[in-house]
Every structure is written in structure tokens, then in C-alpha cells.
Structure 1
């Protein structure tokens, strides 16, 4: 296999797992990352080029030096509360930089792209589970900035021979079971990571943001997907595009939701630690319940998740965090 692929944001949490799997599958990988939230230590395969997508001159030079057969685009800002506070930065980093990337693809004739999108494009769904045909009505700048990226990709594809797979992630967690990779960002804010950190006494408490949602226990419900299964979905998507098949938008989740309270309780049981939990107000932009309708990805890509279990997600996160002497990020 001699396919060369560009992975933007490949030093980050999800991107690094995909890069590792790509390398193991025989792909020639080039990672383009500014390392603002990712770490060079997370890149276990391929070549790292440190650069920013807003640096169009540098980006174009990378495209001119390599003959990429496909691009996998992860680089983005992804905190909902941060997007509410700093919407301009989110549109700049997520939407405008995707436009820069597409222009480079156009200039050199790259015809395949896999885009890292999000369930946040659905906003507060009226019907659960959420399917790919559900209305896209994001309720925060993060979701809107990612939906705008989807529009860019789809509009450009209609006017060119670009084919795409847009993967809408639900809540990603877990770590590579072999202990080689996990979440390296010191201030990661995802619930499972925060809760595991608290069980390991790296944080003093876990906050529940909102206990008055219209859910059985009053806390928000999310569909959690293991990062290794999500990474495998990207390789399945790449194989799908290499077979010349038509563009798709696909959900990546398990179709089962867990409330914040349920996640906290599982971490307490698995870790054996009864840590402090504080109830506080809702955060702006948080929907009550988002669960994936994810039949389509299995039918079209043959995606077959191996870690479809909350306890496995929590256990691999705990094992990774316990193995780290500290949570450094260069």
C-alpha cells in the first residue's frame, strides 16, 4: 500500500488514535498540527509537520510537496462553553480553516476527504435516537461552526469531483487498551476524563452542570463511544471512499445513552473511590439528551465496534490515567 494521507489535528486525542491505526494498516501518514492542544508524543506513526491551518502559505507548500490521495480533517476547537464565550474564534478556527483546507485540496486535485463533525449539529433533538436525517439545528457556536464546515464540503463536492464522508461524533472517551495512547490534554473537560481524574485525586470534585433536565434523573444524557472504535470508523470510511463509492454523512455512536449521574456512579464503582460531587447550574448550550441512531454506518461501511460498553470505556480511561506519572502537555 502506498497511499499517502494528510491528517490535520493528528497530534490530538482522536487524531492520534486514527494516525496509529492508519500506520498499522500500511498508510503513509503526514500529520499537520499546530500542537496547541495536541502533543508530538502522541504521534506513533508518520511524519509531523508543525503548522496552522490559518497559515495558507505553509499549508499549500505541504500539499505541493506531497501527493495526498486523501485528507482526514480533525483540527478544530471543540468546547461548547468556550464557543459560547468566544464565537468568533470558533468560526475562525473551525469554519475558515476548513475553507483554507478545501482550497488546497482543490488546487492539487485531492478528491477524498473525511471530516470530523459532531452530534452538536443536531442541537436539542425532538426525537431520540438522532438519525442522519434528523433536523440540524445547533444551539451553540461550536455546533454551528461545524455545520458550516459540512455545508462547505457538500457545496464544494457538488461543484467538483470531491467525495467525502462526514462523521458526526457523539461523546468520545476511553484510551487505547495497550496503554500507548489516551487523552494527553491536561485540562480536558469531558465528563469521563474529569470523573476519572477525580477518582485518582487529581481533581477535588466533579460538578454536575444541571439537575433539572427533562430526563429520568434530571441530568443530561449522552451516547459515549470508545475512541478506538471511532478511529476504526475512519479507516472504514477511507476504504469506502477508495472503493469509489458515493459521499455520505454518518453518525458515530452506539445508540445507548447514559446520564451524568450514571457515569459518575460507574466510575465510583470501577475505581473503588467515593469522591465528591457538586451540583450546579446548567451550562449555556447544553442539550438534555443526545443519543445516536447509528445503523447506517454499520450497513454502509461494515463498521463493527469492539468496545461498546461503558465499563470498558471507563476502565481504559482509568488505566491510562493511572499509568501517567503526570498530565503534561508540551
Structure 2
């Protein structure tokens, strides 16, 4: 389905978007990347992809990026808590981007959309959490914005014929990532290898998936799931604690720091301290990850140390 297609990847200068854009090019697709470069890096956009610098909260920029020659839009652009201190700005920016993309797709007749949602839509749910868990009760503004985005996509899938694939991510890790626990620990230990500050009590435990497997799963689902609205968790069957991440990063850097915990059972307001997604729906479709959570963390730590540490 994706071979020889014409695809737009919003947020294509970011972690998942840049890796997906490269993989689509390898499959013979024509790829356009749209990104405002507020988080992403222009250097991450793969050679061979057209690039449009676009603020997707601006309908004029969206009109330049979303054109009638597209076969599919991968809408990966989003802001996180690290982009905005103001909750209203974060919520309104994310939902405006999704609304603008969907509105423009409807105007020009593009009828396939893949969207990166988040495990945060579930809130503090029983584990492993299946896609049909409900009610969905996010505890962060970011999670609330993702749930609102999903509602907009559902409307367009069922009322306007936009076949949609919604991916609820675990923690996706890999090269080029910043603003996540692994690069944060690397940067802290590079500055002071004797001590590492850890937000929370270190017992927060989540599933980590390497970006290479994330983009493999996305392509597989888009190629093989054909409902009007297809919702899939993407993650691993295993989890890694924050203290274990610290141990892995320290080991990869060859240092032995003392840990200074900030206390509390979560790292920040809105943080879900324990998360593991059910991936049975993904497995039933025929795809499972080969890299477990600890190994995804270790592989990412090694890749990121090469990038960050001079």
C-alpha cells in the first residue's frame, strides 16, 4: 500500500517522523516533510524528501503542505509539556494542528491518515492496557489534547470517509531524541559523572520501544489493517524502571554516580508512574517487537551517547 505512494509526514524532522520518512523513501514512496523546526532539526530530514517549513496551527501553511496529490498523511507533529509552560497554549496548539490537517484533507480529497497518539490518553489504567479500555481518563493536558485529537479523527473517519490509523505510543526512544529521560541522564552525567538527579522515586516503570521497531510497526499496520478507524497500541511486553534506566546509562558511559531522588511516586504533575500497554491486537495482526524494553533503552543510550558526548 505504501510502496510508490505520495506521503506527507508532519513533524518529519522529529524522532519518529524522520525515521519513518527515511523508511518510506526506501520503499519507493515520494515523501514531503512538514515541520516548524521548533523541536525537530532540519538535518534529520532525509535526503530525497521535499521539505516545507510549516506552522500547522496556521491554515495557510497547512494548505501549502497538504495538497491533492497526496495518497496519505502521517500526522506526527505535536507539542509536549516541554514546549509550553501554558496548558491552554499546549492544548489549543495540538488540537488546532489536527483540526487544520483534517479540514484541509477534506477540502482536497485526501482520504488516508495515520496519527501518533499516546499512552497518556489512558491515564492511570490497569496494566497491560488494551485499546478498548474505558473510560479514557488522561491526567495531563498533553494526554487530554491527544484524546481530543482522536475524537476529531474518529469524526472524519466515520463521517467523511478518511480511513485512519491511530497509534497509541509507549515511550519511543532512539537516536536524535532530546527532552526524554535517556538524553537527560546522559547530559547530566556528562556534566557531573559523580551524581545523578532522578525525578521521583526511581520506581516509575514504563515500556520503552526503539524507534526502528516503532516505524516498522506503523508501516505494517497501515499496510494490513483496513477498518475505517484502526486503533493500535505500540509498545513492548516488558517495562523498565527509571532507576534501571539510570543504571543502563551509567554503565554505557562507564561511570558510577550516586543517585539523588527528588521524592514522590511520579516525576512531575501529570506523569503516569506505571504504564504497560497490551499489544495483543498488534500481535493478532501479525507483528510483534523483537527488542524488549531494557534492550531498547540500552541501544538508545549507546546511540545517544555517541551524539551527545563530545
* Fold match by TM threshold 0.5: yes
Say if 2:57 is the partner of 1:49: no
Give the secondary-structure state (helix, strand or coil) at the position aligned to 1:251.
Answer: strand
Give the secondary-structure state (helix, strand or coil) at the position aligned to 1:107.
Answer: helix
Match for residue 221 of structure 2?
Answer: 237
Q: Distance in 2 between matches of 1:94 and 1:201?
A: 34
Q: Distance in 2 between matches of 1:312 and 1:289?
A: 17
Say if 2:281 is the partner of 1:321: no
Match for residue 174 of structure 2?
Answer: 174
Which one of 45, 50, 58 corresponds to residue 61 of structure 2? 58
Please state how far the C-alpha of 1:82 moved relative to its aligned partner.
6.2
Cα 1:57–1:174 change in 2 (3 A) is: closer
Match for residue 274 of structure 1?
Answer: 256
Alignment check: 8 A CA contact 1:270 1:315 kept:
no
Give the secondary-structure state (helix, strand or coil) at the position aligned to 1:78.
Answer: coil
Which one of 284, 293, 297 corresponds to residue 282 of structure 2? 297
What TM-score does the superposition give when structure 2 sets the normalisation length?
0.90
Give the secondary-structure state (helix, strand or coil) at the position aligned to 1:6.
Answer: strand
Say if 2:210 is the partner of 1:210: no
Cα 1:239–1:269 change in 2 (3 A) is: same
Q: Distance in 2 between matches of 1:269 and 1:254?
A: 23
Q: Distance in 2 between matches of 1:140 and 1:325?
A: 32
Where in structure 1 do 4 or more consecutive aligned residues deviate above 4 Å?
Answer: 202-205, 323-326
Match for residue 35 of structure 1?
Answer: 37
Alignment check: 8 A CA contact 2:161 2:228 kept:
no
Please state how far the C-alpha of 1:203 moved relative to its aligned partner.
8.0
Q: Distance in 2 between matches of 1:306 and 1:147?
A: 29
Match for residue 178 of structure 1?
Answer: none
Corresponding pairs, count: 303
Alignment check: 8 A CA contact 2:8 2:65 kept:
no
Match for residue 261 of structure 1?
Answer: 243
Say if 2:253 is the partner of 1:251: no
Match for residue 179 of structure 1?
Answer: none
Give the secondary-structure state (helix, strand or coil) at the position aligned to 2:66.
Answer: helix
Q: 1:9-56: per-residue Cα shift (whole Å, max 9, x none)?
A: 000111111111111111110001111110110011411100111221
Task: Give 5+ residue unaligned stretches, structure 1.
Answer: 176-181, 212-217
Alignment check: 8 A CA contact 2:238 2:292 kept:
no
What TM-score does the superposition give when structure 1 sets the normalisation length?
0.85
Alignment check: 8 A CA contact 2:118 2:167 kept:
yes
Which one of 184, 188, 192 corresponds to residue 194 of structure 1? 184
Cα 1:204–1:96 change in 2 (3 A) is: farther
Cα 1:63–1:203 change in 2 (3 A) is: farther
Q: Distance in 2 between matches of 1:191 and 1:53?
A: 27
Q: 1:157-204: per-residue Cα shift (whole Å, max 9, x none)?
A: 1111111110000111123xxxxxx32xxxx33112222333444788
Task: Give 5+ residue unaligned stretches, structure 2.
Answer: none
Cα 1:50–1:203 change in 2 (3 A) is: farther
Q: Distance in 1 between matches of 2:256 and 2:113?
A: 45
Give the secondary-structure state (helix, strand or coil) at the position aligned to 2:278.
Answer: coil
Q: Distance in 2 between matches of 1:73 and 1:110?
A: 13
Alignment check: 8 A CA contact 1:163 1:246 kept:
yes
